[in-house]
Amino acid sequence: MNALYSLLFVFLLVLIPLFGVDAAHMRTFFGVCIPTTAFIIFVLGFIYKVVTWGRSAVPFRIPTTGGQFQSFDPELFKQNKLDCPQTGAQTFFRMVLEIFAFRSLFRNTSVSLYEGKDYPVVAYKSSKWLWLFAITFHYSFFIIALRHLRLFLEPIPFLPVGALEFVDGILQIGAPVMYLSDLGLVAGVLLLLSRRLILPRINYISYVSDYFPLFLILSIALSGIYMRYYAKVDVIAIKELTMGLVTFHYVVPEAITVSFFIHVFLVSVLMIYFPFSKLMHMPGVFLSPTRNLPNDSRAKHHVNPWNDPNIKAHPYAEYEEEFGVPMAEAGLPLDNPANGVPHDETKA
């Protein structure tokens, strides 16, 4: 039902500009006011989230690790420098692979339970499908976003816009040329969506907040594909509008059709939704203490800078000396058995 509600909501979003642009004569509202407001909300919300996360206290080193820590005998037990980094340089390379190659997702495994001869057997095997879906989706989305810079820049720079368009359409299929990133984005979204719909365990823990962005991004991709390959909208008129947004000389040419306003409205909804959703994992990966900190808690003593200097540390030896008698009476083990003897008996 969560998937159905999300799909229905996206469908209703499509109807708003479909009937509002021409029927209510609100071309300027959908072409200028909504995109501008959405961009402002996106920028302010993005900055607010990042600053809030950046100011959050991180009192402990809590990096997630999956490899051997540096031992006293490095020849016998070799350190895994990427899965258990201990220096800033090792952590940097771990972050680079995490951001650009989704390394932790690449190491994903699936668990299966089989009926053995005498007892059930648990089996683990490598599962790269989720990594493939995710990296296809994210890189396609990123390339499409960069390609759209041609609508906001004049002259259009060859790097990165021109070069990306050349590589993206290198197959030279169709007229206008089919972009590989368009296919990659649609395929990536459909595969990620199918995973949530088909796998019972994933479907059980999926909410509207999981389905809605997938359906929204899919609708944006399909509306963009429709404009480029079927409706063949007036790109010159669209660039006149987008350049007007950048230069604050707002104009909405009459040649722009309703399909463009639907596409822009859906993109605006995504920009408004982005800072307040799970999509903020994009900047969040840079600020995650489970990724961006070296695992050196056992090699260095970390003291919180906000600790009250008037509060002195209470080592366990002193704690046991102070509370040794009641601990002994409760049957708790003591490192120093003399601490369990009452002071009067000690003096006697």
Mean pLDDT throughout 27-33?
Answer: 92
Report the alpha-carbon distance of residue 188 to residue 58 in Å, rounded. Answer: 35
Tens-place pLDDT, residues 167-189? 888 887 877 888 999 999 999 99
Mean pLDDT throughout 124-148?
Answer: 90
Q: Which residues contact 173 (CB under 8 A, 6 or more apart)?
A: none
Shared-domain flag, residues 146 and 229: yes
CB 270 within 8 A of CB 204: no
Shared-domain flag, residues 320 and 275: no
Q: How far is CA 241 from CA 147, 255, 257, 262, in A?
A: 17, 11, 12, 15
Tens-place pLDDT, residues 253-274? 989 999 999 999 999 999 999 9
Shared-domain flag, residues 68 and 107: yes
CB 98 within 8 A of CB 85: no
Q: Residue 95: which pLDDT band, with cuts at 50, 70 and 90?
A: very high
Q: Is the pLDDT of residue 347 over 60?
A: no
Shared-domain flag, residues 1 and 150: yes
Going by C-alpha positions, the residue among 269, 261, 273 that lies closest to residue 20 is 261
Shared-domain flag, residues 32 and 181: yes
Using the structure block, give the residue that is written with the tokens 């932790």: 104
**pTM (2 d.p.):** 0.83
Q: Output the domain CATH number for residue 233.
A: 1.20.950.20
Q: Is the pLDDT of residue 345 over 70?
A: no
- Residue 300 within any structural domain of the chain: no
Shared-domain flag, residues 125 and 177: yes
User: How many domains, in total, are found in the chain?
Assistant: 2
What is the domain range of residue 216?
1-285
HEC string of the chain equals: CHHHHHHHHHHHHHHHHHHHHHHCCCHHHHHHHHHHHHHHHHHHHHHHHHHHHHCCCCCCCCCCCCCCCCCCCCCCCCCCCCCCCCCHHHHHHHHHHHHHHCHHHHCCEEEEEEECCCCEEEEEEECCHHHHHHHHHHHHHHHHHHHHHHHCCCCCCHHHHHHHHHHHCCCCCCCCCCCHHHHHHHHHHHHHHHHHHHCHHHHHCCCHHHHHHHHHHHHHHHHHHHHHHHHCCCHHHHHHHHHHHHHCCCCCCCCCCHHHHHHHHHHHHHHHHHHHCHHHHHHHHHHCCCCCCCCCCCCCCCCCCCCCCCCCCCCHHHHHHHHHHHHHHCCCCCCCHHHHCCHHHHHC
Shared-domain flag, residues 89 and 238: yes
Average pLDDT, the chain: 88
Q: Is the pLDDT of residue 91 over 60?
A: yes
- Residue 231 within any structural domain of the chain: yes
- Residue 8 within any structural domain of the chain: yes
Report the alpha-carbon distance of residue 76 to residue 94 in Å, rounded. Answer: 23
Shared-domain flag, residues 325 and 226: no
Q: How far, rounded to the nearest angstrom, does the alpha carbon of residue 345 sit from its chain's CA centroid?
A: 64
Residue 3 is encoded by which pair of tokens? 């998937």
Look at residue 344 in the predicted model and tell me its pLDDT: 63
Shared-domain flag, residues 220 and 330: no
Picking from 249, 268, 285, the residue at the C-terminal end of a domain is 285
- Residue 291 within any structural domain of the chain: no
Shared-domain flag, residues 21 and 117: yes
- Residue 31 within any structural domain of the chain: yes
Look at residue 59 in the predicted model and tell me its pLDDT: 73
Shared-domain flag, residues 334 and 241: no
Tens-place pLDDT, residues 299-343? 887 777 777 888 777 788 888 888 989 999 999 999 888 888 886
Q: Residue 24: which pLDDT band, with cuts at 50, 70 and 90?
A: low
Shared-domain flag, residues 108 and 193: yes
Q: Is the pLDDT of residue 70 over 90?
A: no
The CA-based angle 334-336-339, given to 5 degrees, is: 85
Q: Residue 227: which pLDDT band, with cuts at 50, 70 and 90?
A: very high
Look at residue 326 in the predicted model and tell me its pLDDT: 92
- Residue 293 within any structural domain of the chain: no
Look at residue 22 in the predicted model and tell me its pLDDT: 74
